[in-house]
Amino acid sequence: MSKTKFNVAVVGATGAVGEQIIGLLEKRDFPVDKLKLLSSARSAGTVLNFKGQEITVEEAGPDSFEGIDIALFSAGGDVSKELAPHAVRHGAVCIDNTNAFRMDPTAPLVVPEVNADQIDKHQGIIANPNCSTIQMVAALKPLYDSYGISRIIVSTYQAVSGAGAKAINEMLRQSKEVLEGRDANPDILPVGSLPVKHQIAFNAIPQIDKFQDNGYTLEEMKMVRETKKIFGDEDIAVTATCVRIPVIYGHSESVYVELKNDYELEEVKQLLAESPGITLVDDPAAQAYPLATDAAGKNDVFVGRVRRDLGNARGLNLWIVSDNLLKGAAWNAVQIAEIIAAKA
């Protein structure tokens, strides 16, 4: 693919992540020769702007990828499973934002700050991890390299935008209903196999995705499995509790990690502060720590509340925040595309 410019397709162009991808391609001045925007039949015909050019969104199909070099998918797992192999057949490298290929042994699962070396091992498809996994492993990578990690316990506080535009609208509608003294009528959350829905406004729902046979949700098991694959370490003990909260953008995580070796707290903070893609916000005296409202719209992963665990000398507690649509999805994918382009 020795080219200076690339024909790029964005699948799911009218969705929240797709729009972020298009914006990043423009903002980063990605070397695009031709940009093809693809969506479902329902959204086909929509006109979007890219670098002052109006581009009409087309319906995605098996033959949409002729001449495409890089295809960025964010239209749902079923769409990726159906169309990504066709894109590969046409010679494109696919960067997939869904769960479709994350645990496929032939598809690298990549966070550039953690395992960019895996990109070259692709067989046509590179998987983007789950948003909550991305920010956690990006923050833990320097600790893993310096001290080793034996155990991770994570509790997430995830924004409603992770469940799509309908979930955002439901939260805003319910908030208005509650403030006006009316009943909140839930229709969307939690997304699961049962018709039961719960109020998200002024609430916390300890379920993201469907429950599995082991009592964990699929979101929680994604974090477990993906963390092991990204670090290439099946011996890390990982457990997760994932919670949806009434925040629009920005996932927050409380992470407890047990290191294999002794550490100095100031050295840990220095490692984090010097790591690419990480912003350390950790000044308790000034009440400075990462907030979802501050992380929204930014590409970095923010880390704070860094403190030694009271019950384990090698235990460490951190607070990790990131924009779930940017680093958690669109920006991670564009980072991968930039690495591919730089090597072409």
Query: How far apart, in whole angstroms, are the C-alpha atoms of residue 53 and residue 187?
Result: 38
Q: Are residues 122 and 142 in the same domain?
A: no
Q: Are residues 165 and 310 in the same domain?
A: yes
Q: Are residues 290 and 316 in the same domain?
A: yes
Q: Judge whether 251 counts as a catalytic residue.
A: yes
Q: What is the pLDDT of residues 106-117, one digit of tens each?
A: 999 999 999 999
CATH of the domain at 27: 3.40.50.720
- 90 belongs to a structural domain: yes
DSSP state of 298: -
pLDDT bin (cut points 50, 70, 90) of residue 216 is: very high
Q: What is the pLDDT of residues 28-72, one digit of tens each?
A: 999 999 999 999 999 999 999 999 999 999 999 999 999 999 999
Q: Is 244 annotated as a binding residue?
A: yes
Q: Is 74 annotated as a binding residue?
A: no
Q: Are residues 260 and 289 in the same domain?
A: yes
Q: Are residues 238 and 256 in the same domain?
A: yes
pLDDT bin (cut points 50, 70, 90) of residue 132 is: very high
What single letter denotes the amino acid at residue 314?
A: R
**Cis before 190 (ω within 30):** yes
Q: How many CB atoms lie within 10 A of CB 54?
A: 8
Q: Are residues 113 and 233 in the same domain?
A: no
Q: What is the pLDDT of residues 65-102, one digit of tens each?
A: 999 999 999 999 999 999 999 999 999 999 999 999 99
Q: Is 174 annotated as a binding residue?
A: no
Q: Are residues 154 and 196 in the same domain?
A: yes
Q: Which of 94, 131, 198, 242 is catalytic?
A: 131
CATH of the domain at 236: 3.30.360.10
Nearest to 125 by CA among 156, 101, 98, 94: 94
Q: List alpha helices for the chain, DSSP H.
A: 16-27, 77-89, 112-115, 131-147, 165-179, 218-231, 265-274, 292-295, 331-343
DSSP state of 168: H
Q: Are residues 144 and 216 in the same domain?
A: yes
3-state secondary structure 279-330: EECCEHHHCECCCHHHHCCCCCEEEEEEEECCCCCCEEEEEEEECCCHHHHH
pTM value is: 0.96
331 in helix, strand or coil? helix
Q: Are residues 240 and 337 in the same domain?
A: no
Q: What is the pLDDT of residues 1-36, one digit of tens each?
A: 456 899 999 999 999 999 999 999 999 999 999 999
Predicted confidence at residue 193, as pLDDT, reads 78
Residues 136-152, mean pLDDT to the nearest whole number? 98
Q: What is the pLDDT of residues 222-261, one digit of tens each?
A: 999 999 999 999 999 999 999 999 999 999 999 999 999 9
Q: Is 212 annotated as a binding residue?
A: no
- 101 belongs to a structural domain: yes
Q: Is 32 annotated as a binding residue?
A: no
Predicted confidence at residue 3, as pLDDT, reads 67
Predicted confidence at residue 242, as pLDDT, reads 98
Pair of tokens at residue 106: 């032939």
Q: Is 102 annotated as a binding residue?
A: yes
38 in helix, strand or coil? strand
Q: Are 217 and 241 in contact (CB under 8 A)?
A: no
Q: Are residues 177 and 198 in the same domain?
A: yes
Nearest to 21 by CA among 31, 33, 9: 9
Q: Which domain holds residue 102?
A: 6-128+329-343
Residues in the chain: 344
Predicted confidence at residue 228, as pLDDT, reads 98
Q: Are 249 and 159 in contact (CB under 8 A)?
A: yes
Q: Are residues 70 and 194 in the same domain?
A: no
Q: How many CB atoms lie within 10 A of CB 1?
A: 12
Q: What is the pLDDT of residues 259-295, one digit of tens each?
A: 999 999 999 999 999 999 999 999 999 999 999 999 9
Question: Sign of the C-alpha dihedral, residues 16, 21, 27, 33?
Answer: negative
- 147 belongs to a structural domain: yes
Q: Report the number of distinct structural domains present in the chain.
A: 2
Q: Are 320 and 253 in contact (CB under 8 A)?
A: yes
Predicted confidence at residue 62, as pLDDT, reads 97
Q: Are residues 192 and 271 in the same domain?
A: yes
Q: Are 344 and 6 in contact (CB under 8 A)?
A: yes
Model confidence at 192: pLDDT above 90: no
- 1 belongs to a structural domain: no
Q: Judge whether 131 counts as a catalytic residue.
A: yes
271 in helix, strand or coil? helix
- 288 belongs to a structural domain: yes
DSSP state of 175: H
DSSP state of 208: -
- 69 belongs to a structural domain: yes
Residues 173-188, mean pLDDT to the nearest whole number? 97
- 201 belongs to a structural domain: yes
List, in order, residues 6 or more apart from 111 with CB less than 8 Å away.
Answer: 129, 134, 137, 138, 141, 230, 332
253 in helix, strand or coil? strand
